[in-house]
Copies of this chain bind each other. A is one copy, B any other.
């Protein structure tokens, strides 16, 4: 079938050992031999069979990423950007990225099991971490390397990146307040999601510092899609205690909120304020443009991949924690001052 190391060795009348060592760049092969091997291998189109190498080395050089199963038919730009970031970093080290998407909680579990048990991957990158996250417990218990975007509250140590937006929430809310809005609502994600929990906490604490009232009826959970945001906003905008500032857990949700606002005849930026989180490219292009707390999604994914590569390579991590501070991007959706 295709070229093997044996073919290359035969052609040069040397042992397969020498071919293997030469290609892997060890210095126990004569320079001249190495040159010859490298050229011949290239000529013959030889590339080491990955399955054989994996089996022998007991390493797959592959990282797994499973898109969480929060919503069925999603199309979140966040994930494309995240995948691209991981891919960039991994490719550079000749690692590959195995991707799948969970269609149910059950299916998600079985995917992690399958990939871990059958040595399909050397490690996992997690996101959408939950407060109590079985993935964290499971992977830790089985000694499978992983990193996460967010830290679960299971008391388990692992390397992660986290977003610290405490200060930015304060600035955001001060800004919105200064534009005359005062009845704040939080349109969040699933209640056990770390992103939800933390952002809500910062939201509350910022309200307090600004002397604003916190109304727990004005905290809603969504599936973090634009449809979720749309429905939540409808509920809020039709309620008797209608809020006039809607802070969303992500940009996607905010898109839906804008739509609901237009439908109900509210002028966004004037009658009500709306903000998002993530700083996706398209949030520039909505009408009006959305004020958001922007994070460099692809770069975060890159850094997580880098951490995981070091771990699977048994290198010492200089940092177990990466902290990202979002950038507050003020745009028209929160008023004109």
Which of A's residues lie within 8 Å of B, judged by CB?
1-2, 45-52, 54-55, 58, 60, 62, 67, 73-81, 83-84, 87-88, 90-91, 94, 96-101, 103, 107, 111, 113-115, 117-120, 225-227, 230, 252, 255-256, 258-259, 262, 280-282, 284-287, 289, 297-298
Contacts and interface: CB of A to CB of B under 8 A. Distances in A.
B119 A49 contact: yes
B282 A226 contact: yes
Contacts of A258: 285, 287
B100 A281 contact: no
B101 A88 contact: yes
B47 A285 contact: no
Given A91-B111, A281-B227, A48 B118 contact: yes
Contact of A118 (B50, B226, B280): B50
A330 B284 CA distance: 25
B230 A256 contact: no
B91 A58 contact: no
Given A91-B100, A98-B97, A100-B91, A75 B67 contact: no
A332 B77 CA distance: 24
A27 to B, nearest CB: 24
Nearest to A298: B73
A91 B110 CA distance: 10
A285 B259 contact: yes
Given A88-B101, A100-B96, A280-B75, A118 B256 contact: no
A312 B22 CA distance: 34
Nearest to A46: B117
A256 B255 CA distance: 15
A99 B101 contact: no
A60 to B, nearest CB: 7
A259 B281 contact: no
